[in-house]
Amino acid sequence: MGKPTGFLDYQRRELSLRPAAERLKDWQELKTSSLEHKKELQEQAARCMDCGTPFCHSGMMLGAAVSGCPLHNLMPEFNDMLYRGLDGFAYVRLNKTNNFPEFTSHVCPAPCEGACCAGLVTEPVSIRNIEQYVIESAFAAGLVRPNKPAERTGRKVAVIGSGPSGLACADQLNRAGHSVTVFERADRPGGLLMYGIPNMKLDKKIVERRIDILKAAGIEFKMNSEVGSNLSGDILRSEFDAVVLCTGSPVPRDLPIKGRELAGIYFAKDYLTRVTQALLDSDFSSSGPITAKGKDVVVIGGGDTGTDCVATALRQGCRSVRQIEIMPCPPHSRGDDNPWPQFPRIFKTDYGQEEACVKFGKDPREYCLASKEFLGEKAVSGIRLSQVRWEKGPQDIPGTERVIPAQLVLLAMGFVGGEQRLFDEFKIEKTARNNIAADENSYATSVPGIFAAGDARRGQSLVVWAIAEGRGAAKAVDAFLKEKSKKGKK
C-alpha cells in the first residue's frame, strides 16, 4: 500500500493549527483547511508501509486499552488510493465503515495511529489528517449525498438521543428502509457533538451539514423531547416497532467535599453547553453563558473535557487558569504496561494547554493534587489542595496543603452512567456501573423491542466507539425487525 519506501522517504507531519495567539481571539475552527494540503497529505499517505499484518483497523481490546480503530476503517486501502490520486475511491472505501469521518477526523484521539506498524520503527502515519482530507474533498466534489432507500419496509424505529451513536444508528436503519425518528431533548440535534465539544474544536456548521443530509435522506428529528418529561416510554413502545436508547452517559462525576454548595462551581458539561448555546443563539450578544471573564478559573480533571474548559475560559478572558489532576503525570514514552499496539497512554500537550502557555507563559496542568475543600461564603473564592503520593491509591503528603484562588470551578472528572428516570420510564435493567444492561451481540435490553448503544451501554468512551456501537445496534435491530416481519406473515 502507498509507496513501499514512503515511511523512509517522508517524515510524519501533522496539519498545522492556526497560531495560538490568533485563534484565542475567536471561536472559529482550530485547524487549517486540509484541502489546501493535498500534495503534503499524499506524501503522508505514502508512508503507509504495506506492513502485511496491519493493526490500525483491528479495533480490539488488549488489556484495558483499545488497539486500532473500533470501526475497522481499512486505512491501508484509502491511504493507497489517496497516494495514487484516487480521492473519490478513497471516500467510497472510508464511507463503507465510517458514517461520519468529518466527526472522527476532528475529535477522535486516533487509536488507529497508536497501533500503526510504522510507529514501531519511526512515527505512525497521520491517519486522522488523511481522513479529514478524504471526507472534505468528497464534500467539495459533491460525492456526499443523502442515502435514500429504494423502498420502505413499513417498520418504524425510534432512536432516543442524537449524539454520534444515535445518528449512526439512525443512518444505518434508514438505509435499510425503516422509517426512523430521532428524539433529542436539547434544542438542536447532535448530542455531545453539538454541545459537549466547543465550536473551535468541532465547528457546529460541520454537524449541521451532516444533520441536513440525514434529514434529506428521510430521517425525522424531533427536538425538545425528553423521556420521562414530555416523552412517554409507553407511547414510544406502542407507536414504534423498536426503540433504541442512545442517550449517552450524561451523569457527571461529582466532588462532594466541603463547600460544594457554593455558587460558582459547575459541571464542565453544563459550562460548555451554555457557552456554545450562547454562541449559536446570539454570538454572545445576549446574557446567559457562565463566564470566566476576569476570574481565576480552576478546572478539576485532566482529560479532553478539561482541556476544552481551559480553552473556553481563555477565550472568555479569564484572569488565570489551572487544570488540576489527582493522577500522576503520564510518562513521555510508553511504559512496560502499555506496549504497542495498545493506545499510547503518554503525556501530550493539547490545544488548550498550548494556548494557556502562549497567554500566561506556563502549562496550566498540575498533577497529584487532591481537592480537600471549597472555600468562600456564598460563592467560591478558593480551593484547599493537598499533594498526594500514589501507594495503593492517593495518600495525602503531610505539610503540603495550600490554598489557591478560584472564583470559577469546573468539574471535568468524567461521567458515571445514565439517569435514573430513563431506567424507570422503560423499566430496563442496569449494570453495576449504572449503564443500560444490554446483550453484547444483540444490543437488546431486558425489555423486548428496546435496544441500547453507545455510551448508554458501554459507559463513557470515544466518539469512534459510539459510531461503531450505533452501527452494531442498527444491524441487530434490522435483524429483529426482519424476524418480526416473518412471524407476522405466518
pLDDT digit string, tens, across residues 203-259:
999 999 999 999 999 999 999 999 989 999 999 999 999 999 999 999 999 999 999
CA–CA dist 157, 206 (Å, integer): 26
Contact 55, 68 (CB under 8 A): yes
The model's confidence at residue 487, banded by pLDDT at 50, 70 and 90, is confident
**pLDDT attached to residue 392:** 87
CA–CA dist 87, 144 (Å, integer): 13
CA–CA dist 311, 302 (Å, integer): 13
**389 has pLDDT over 90:** yes
* Class of 156-249+416-489 in CATH: alpha beta
SS3 label, residue 428: coil
The model's confidence at residue 489, banded by pLDDT at 50, 70 and 90, is low
The answer to whether the 6-140 and 156-249+416-489 domains have the same CATH topology is no
Nearest C-alpha neighbor of 414 from the set 301, 332, 281: 301
CATH fourth-level superfamily of 265-411: FAD/NAD(P)-binding domain (3.50.50.60)
Q: Name every residue whose Cβ is closer than 8 Å to that of residue 43 and which is 6 or more positions away in sequence.
A: 6, 10, 13
> pTM for the complete prediction?
0.96
Of the candidate ranges 9-18, 248-257, 395-404, the one whose mean pLDDT is the lowest: 9-18
Name the packing angle between helices 87-95 and 127-140 (round to 10°): 110
- Looking at residue 204, what DSSP letter applies? H
* Class of 6-140 in CATH: mainly alpha
Contact 417, 251 (CB under 8 A): yes
Domain spans of the chain? 6-140, 156-249+416-489, 265-411
Contact 391, 409 (CB under 8 A): no
CA–CA dist 160, 318 (Å, integer): 37
Tell me what percent of the residues of the chain surpass a pLDDT of 70: 99
**pLDDT attached to residue 1:** 60
SS3 label, residue 22: helix
Contact 238, 179 (CB under 8 A): no
C-alpha cell at 298: 480552576
Contact 184, 167 (CB under 8 A): no
Taking only the tens place, the pLDDT of each residue in 19-62 is: 999 999 999 999 988 898 999 999 999 999 878 889 999 999 88
**490 has pLDDT over 60:** no
380-390 and 402-405 strand pairing: antiparallel
The model's confidence at residue 288, banded by pLDDT at 50, 70 and 90, is confident
The model's confidence at residue 64, banded by pLDDT at 50, 70 and 90, is confident
Task: Identify residue 301 by its one-letter amino acid code.
Answer: G
For cell 430521517, what's the residue? Answer: 219
CA–CA dist 438, 452 (Å, integer): 6
